[in-house]
Amino acid sequence: MLSTVTPIVLVIARMVLRGVLPYPDLLRRARVRSRARELATRIPWPQDETTATGLDFAQLALLRLLWLQRETRRAVRTRQREAAALLARTSMETCILGLWCLHNPTAASKLRTSEFNDLVRNRTVGAPVRHG
């Protein structure tokens, strides 16, 4: 009877510890982050925005995701619940955007067009510059 109880207790203890600990496998997380950084490394980055492709935008999204992951973790550790929730939401949006840029070959031009339309809508393009 004791031999069947011990594995069950170990399984339950392992599940509880995995839920309590921030991440049980720190070495694996570090490896995944470094490989993600290697994927997003591009030398040199395109100097002209019009030559940037969907892959370039996806690589920028991956770098932003790594930064957002670090900031979300910091917010959770300092018990800033609202900031952690907003950072997690931004991470999801960035992930979706990066995947869309990889999947859709015209994503880069659509992003440029939508950014320009937003600038025109907010009257920042073509508006006279006031000095002083």
Q: Give residue-wise pLDDT tens across range 18-69.
A: 666 666 667 777 787 788 777 777 667 777 777 778 888 888 888 888 888 8
The three-point CA angle 120-124-130 to 5° equals 150
Are the C-beta atoms of residues 104 and 54 closer than 8 Å to each other? Answer: yes
Are 91 and 83 spatial neighbours (Cβ–Cβ below 8 Å)? no
Q: How far is 116 from 15, CA to CA, in rounded Å?
A: 49
Q: Which residue has the tokens 């395109």?
A: 46
The confidence score (pLDDT) of residue 130 equals: 55
pTM greater than 0.75: no
**What is residue 56's three-state secondary structure?**
helix
Alpha carbon distance 67, 33 (integer Å): 10
What confidence tier does 73 reach under pLDDT thresholds 50, 70, 90? confident
Collapsing DSSP to helix, strand or coil, 132 comes out as coil
